[in-house]
Amino acid sequence: MSNPCESHGIKHLSASSLNLFKNSPARWVLSYLFRIKDGPSPAMLRGKSAESAIEWALQNDITATDEVAEYAAQDFESHRPSRRSMDEALEAKYEAERAICQKCAVSGYEFIQGQDFGPLISSQDKLDFRIDGIDVPIIGYTDFTFENGITVDLKCVGKAQSRPKMDHAVQIAGYGIASNYQQALLYAYPRTKLNTDDFSARLFKISADTVEQQLGFAAHTAHAIRNVLALSLIHISEPTRQAEMSY
């Protein structure tokens, strides 16, 4: 059988594509087969801009947190859609997410500054790994890798987390296979009056057992995607052959 992924123009998979298929196969089909993709949501911009602000602050040894917040806001504004294209409710959502983005950027940066991670040595490193029986690689990009041997993936959320979310754990499990660094999830969230003396962030280091477990989930989803693609080739090719024979 030909490579089902490449037959559909899919040259690689990613943790986000695996999670999308697991959570909504119909949306996955629209996005990856029909190329109908959603634009950047307010929540997506929140995470990307907070990450950009923290990266900038780490690279430039910024000490003033108000500068981190301002950088996050400017980055958010530079990527948001034009206000002319949205109604009042959506604009209000973007405004709220920008404020959360600034707070998460500050929370995450303060937390990292208080840890013994060492200097930032790289960011957005491309990693890839293979799953047995899957014809294309699984790729991903790390957030922050530090000198003392830890890679941190930032997640900006609205409230404190008691445990890593499964989708997030699946995302960095592959990084643990492709890299020798300790993998960790850092959840940053807005500071509240109840925890003003504490970091509004929590770090979860991912163990080898968790990596193996999450890779099992990733492999199951990847094979489900391959099966759907292979089945679609069977159903598409037969009418095509019949049409060709009619000419």
Residue 247 scores a pLDDT above 60: no
Considering only CA atoms, which of 188, 126, 146, 187 is closest in space to residue 58?
146
Task: Confirm if 127 and 172 have CB atoms less than 8 A apart.
Answer: no
pLDDT of 197 > 60? The answer is no
Residue type present at position 247:
Y
- Rounded Cα distance between 236 and 230, Å, is 10
Q: 184: helix, coil or strand?
A: strand
**pLDDT digit string (tens) for 151-185?**
999 999 988 899 999 999 988 888 888 888 999 99
List, for residues 93-129, the tens digit of each pLDDT value. 999 999 999 999 999 999 999 999 999 999 999 999 9
Tell me the C-alpha distance between 89 and 229, whole Å. Answer: 38
Contact in structure between 127 and 15 (CB atoms under 8 Å): no
> Residue 163's pLDDT is what?
94
Local structure of 205: helix, strand or coil: strand
Closest residue by Cα to residue 65 from 93, 27, 102, 24: 102
CB 110 within 8 A of CB 96: no
CA distance 73 to 112: 20
Q: Is the dihedral of CA 77, 79, 80, 82 positive or negative?
A: positive
190-216: average pLDDT: 79
Contact 177, 215 (CB under 8 A): yes
- C-alpha 116/C-alpha 148 separation (Å) is 8
* 199: pLDDT strictly greater than 70: no
Phi/psi at 139 (nearest 5 deg)? -120, 160
Helices (H), the chain: 4-7, 15-23, 25-32, 42-60, 65-79, 88-113, 166-178, 208-246
